[in-house]
Amino acid sequence: MTWRAPAELIERVRRAAQRQRRSMNDYVTAVLDAATNPRLAGGEAERLRERLDQAGLLDEPREPHSRPPREEAAAARRRAGAGTALSQLVSEDR
């Protein structure tokens, strides 16, 4: 996943991760899990869900999706591999 965000937000996320002695990846994963996983009710996760709800960013749980057939996934990987490299898009600032 590639995520573009204002430098100020990225720095806030970096500091929050450091305070919890976590990598940014681990911290962002935990935040997204807390925001979307109704089984994580209570405590810090519940406070986060409340803040996301107040900001209009909380998504209602939906039925889980099933995995696509292997053939479809393989075809999607082949198509994705044929596209423009992410490094090229970043260097072109697209």
pLDDT 10s digits, 40-51 = 667 777 777 777
**Cα angle at 78 between 75 and 81, to 5 degrees?**
150
User: Averaged over 4-24, what is the pLDDT?
Assistant: 89
The candidate with the shortest Cα–Cα distance to 60, out of 80, 40, 37, 83, is 37
3-state SS, residue 31: helix
Does residue 94 register a pLDDT over 70? no
Q: CA-to-CA distance for 61 and 87, rounded, in angstroms?
A: 34
Tokens of 86: 């992410």
Residue 83 makes CB contacts below 8 A (sequence gap 6+) with: none
